[in-house]
Amino acid sequence: MTLAARHQAFHDLHQSGCFVIPNPWDRGSARMMAALGAKALATSSAAHAFTLGRADLGGVSRDEALAHAEDLVAATPLPVSGDFENGFADDPEGVAETVRLAAEAGLSGCSIEDTVMVAGNPAYAIDLAVERIRAAVAAARGLGRPFVLCARADGVMNGSYDLAEGIRRLQAYEAAGADLLYLPVPPGRAELAEVLASVKKPVNALAAGPIRTMTVSELAAMGVRRISTGSQIARVAHAAIRDCVAAMLDEGSFARLMAAASGSKIDELLKKGSGNV
């Protein structure tokens, strides 16, 4: 699939129905996810930071994120979206430049948060937050090809504002032209329903917190258009490292290694996911 075809396919995925967009952290995980049937992939700032031995918040630079994105774009034939935190800039023009660079990296979309990348996760003032999304949207429209701009209201997850303020911000981001709206980890199903009822543009839901107890069909029935996994799959992988190694060193047991996939099966998935079958 050409890059142009990927961009169009990614745009089309957001027009109807509901799909899962898993978040790989390297070429191998991307190819396994592609082989298992993913229709698109997205980077995860946290999962990427973990691979570098760093904490999530601001742990990756823009240049590192762009290089990582290019690597994942090259790994499979699938469209890829970028998790670009606050756009790696406070000012609207800096965010717009990040969108342009994301497009140059071959991405089919990216997300921009309204969180300042400092300790405590404060939110940008709403006027600045809206200007940042408006600038990102203008940059995306200027590309001359499909690019799904996702506007994130992260304050509910970070504890910097309540659900009512999160909804107010999503509505403002929608008015600013965002293609996709995203309020990570609402307190529960009822709050997610409020988010969905408050906007007309497609909504992304994160499979984390209380949403993990729901199924794809349940989220689709509510009207969710896209379901991302963020760093959750990477955290499961890291939990396996923790549990296996702890059992070896603390208990002298290798029993957890019995769950390992065979090398031949992994090889098969990696080849299939690369598109070079």
pLDDT for 120: 86
Torsion of Cα atoms, 213 then 225 then 16 then 142, to 10°: -160
151: left (phi over 0), alpha (psi -120 to 50) or beta: beta
Q: What is the CA radius of gyration of the chain?
A: 19
Neighbouring C-beta atoms of residue 144, cutoff 10 Å: 7
Tell me which residue has tokens 């823009």.
Answer: 62
pLDDT tens digits for 89-147? Answer: 999 999 999 999 999 999 999 999 999 999 888 999 999 999 999 999 999 999 999 99
Q: Which residue ranges in the chain fall short of pLDDT 70?
A: 277
SS3 at position 7: helix
Delineate the domains of the chain, giving CATH numbers in brackets: 3-274 (3.20.20.60)
pLDDT for 55: 86
Q: Are 95 and 136 in contact (CB under 8 A)?
A: yes
How would you classify the pairing of strands 109-112 and 19-21? Answer: unpaired
Angle formed at CA 183 by CA 177 and CA 188, multiple of 5 degrees: 145
Closest by CA position to 81, among listed 156, 183, 170, 182: 182
Question: Two tokens at 44?
Answer: 């995860």
H or E stretch at 181: strand 180-182
Distance CA 176, CA 254 (A): 55
Distance CA 151, CA 195 (A): 13
Q: Which amino acid is at 43?
A: T
62: left (phi over 0), alpha (psi -120 to 50) or beta: alpha
pLDDT for 277: 61
| DSSP assignment string, 107-153 | -SEEEE-SB-SSTT-PBPPHHHHHHHHHHHHHHHHTTSS--EEEEE-
H or E stretch at 51: helix 45-51
